[in-house]
C-alpha cells in the first residue's frame, strides 16, 4: 500500500487561515498583532527565510516590524534593540533570526527577549515551562510536527517515538511534546550506539540531524510514520535527512522535503504571534 504523503503546505494553509480569523477578532477589539523580526548580517538563507515570514504576516494580517542590521553590529546595540521591543506594547512577538554572525552571543540575546514575546519558543523560561507541562509558546518546528500529526489523525499515545537529534531548537522540544502526547520517547544523537537498531523500533520516527538522506530504509520499521525535519541544500537541490525514495515504500506516512515540515514552521510562528497578542490583550 502506498504511504500517506503528509502535505505540510495544505496543513500550513489551514493554520494560517485559523490565525487570520483570530487576528480579525483581535482587530475588532482594537488590537493589532505586531511581530518584530531582527536579521543581523546578510546570510542568503536567513534573508530568504525572513522575507517569507514577512509575506506570511501580510497574509494573516500581522504587522511586521522588519529590522536588518549589519554583521558587525555590537552585542550591546542588538540587546538594546531587543529591550526596546520588550518595552513596546505594540510589539507582541520578537524573533531574532539565527544563526547570528560570529562574535555575537546568541544565548544572551535569546535570554534578553521577554518570555511572553518569545514567539520562537527558545527562551529558557519557554523551554522550562514545556518541561513542566505548563502553558508556553512552543518552538515552531516541533509544534508544527505535532499539528501535522493531529491533522492526519496520527495519535502518539502509547506509540514508541524516536527523535534523531537533540538540538534545543528541534530535538529536545520535539521529544517533550511527544512525551506530553503520551508517547514513549527515545532521543538519539551522534553518540547513540547502534542508531539504526534504535530507529527501527520507532512507530513515529522524527529525523532532525542535518545530514542529507542519512535515514534510509534500513533505519525504518515497516509501517512507521516518518517525519523529516531536515533541510539540506545539495547539488541535487533541497533534500531532507530521510532518503525519501527508499523509505516511502515501507512507511505508513511520510513528510516530503520540500513541502512537509518547512511550511509548518512559519505557520506556527504566525500562531504563536497571535497567541502572544491574545494573552497580552486579556
Using CA atoms, how far residue 146 sits from 42, 142, 216, 242, in Å, is 32, 6, 23, 19
Which alpha helices (H) appear in the chain, and where do they start and end?
Answer: 8-28, 44-60, 75-87, 106-112, 124-132, 140-151, 171-180, 195-199, 244-247, 261-280
Q: Check 56, 118, 120, 228 and give the catalytic one.
A: 120
**53 tagged catalytic:** yes
The band of 235, judged by pLDDT with boundaries at 50, 70 and 90, is: confident
Q: Check 97, 117, 118, 241 and give the catalytic one.
A: 97
The pLDDT of residue 45 is 86
| CB contact set of 234 (below 8 Å; sequence gap of 6+) | 212
Asked: is 30-114 a CATH 1.10.240.10 domain? The reply is no
**228 tagged catalytic:** no
The pLDDT of residue 157 is 98
Using CA atoms, how far residue 238 sits from 41, 171, 193, 231, in Å, is 23, 21, 29, 7
The pLDDT of residue 234 is 87
Q: Which three cell numbers stand for residue 251?
A: 512507511
Question: What pLDDT, in 10s, does the model give residues 176-226?
Answer: 999 999 999 999 999 999 999 999 999 999 999 999 999 999 999 999 999
Fold of 140-262: Rossmann fold (3.40.50)
The string of DSSP codes covering 196-223 is HHHHTT-SEEEE-S--TT-B-GGG--TT
Checking if the pLDDT of 233 tops 90, the result is no
**97 tagged catalytic:** yes
Q: Would you list the domain boundaries of the chain?
A: 30-114, 140-262
Amino acid at each position: 500500500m502506498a504511504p500517506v504523503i503528509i502535505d505540510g503546505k495544505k496543513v500550513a494553509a489551514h493554520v494560517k487561515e485559523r490565525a487570520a480569523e483570530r487576528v480579525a477578532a483581535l482587530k475588532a477589539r482594537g488590537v493589532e498583532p505586531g511581530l518584530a523580526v531582527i536579521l543581523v548580517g546578510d546570510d542568503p538563507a536567513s534573508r530568504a527565510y525572513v522575507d517569507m515570514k514577512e509575506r506570511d504576516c501580510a497574509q494573516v494580517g500581522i504587522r511586521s516590524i522588519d529590522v536588518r542590521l549589519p554583521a558587525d553590529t555590537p552585542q550591546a546595540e542588538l540587546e538594546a534593540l531587543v529591550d526596546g521591543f520588550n518595552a513596546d506594547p505594540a510589539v507582541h512577538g520578537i524573533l531574532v533570526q539565527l544563526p547570528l554572525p560570529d562574535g555575537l552571543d546568541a544565548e544572551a540575546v535569546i535570554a534578553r527577549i521577554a518570555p511572553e514575546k518569545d514567539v520562537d519558543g527558545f527562551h529558557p523560561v519557554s523551554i522550562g515551562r514545556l518541561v513542566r507541562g505548563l502553558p508556553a509558546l512552543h518552538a515552531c518546528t516541533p509544534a508544527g510536527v505535532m499539528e501535522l500529526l493531529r491533522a492526519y489523525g496520527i495519535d502518539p499515545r502509547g506509540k514508541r517515538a524516536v527523535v534523531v537529534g537533540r538540538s534545543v531548537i528541534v530535538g529536545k522540544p520535539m521529544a517533550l511534546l511527544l512525551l506530553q502526547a503520551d508517547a514513549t520517547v527515545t532521543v538519539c544523537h551522534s553518540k547513540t550506539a547502534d542508531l539504526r537498531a534504535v530507529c527501527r523500533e520507532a512507530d513515529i520516527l522524527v529525523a532532525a540531524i542535518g545530514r542529507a538522506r542519512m535515514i534510509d530504509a534500513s533505519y525504518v520499521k515497516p509501517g512507521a510514520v516518518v517525519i523529516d525535519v531536515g533541510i539540506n541544500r545539495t547539488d541535487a537541490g533541497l533534500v531532507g535527512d530521510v532518503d525519501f525514495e527508499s523509505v516511502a515504500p515501507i512507511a505508513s506516512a511520510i513528510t516530503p522535503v520540500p513541502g512537509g515540515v518547512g511550511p509548518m514552521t512559519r505557520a506556527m510562528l504566525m500562531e504563536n504571534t497571535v497567541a502572544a497578542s491574545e494573552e497580552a490583550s486579556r
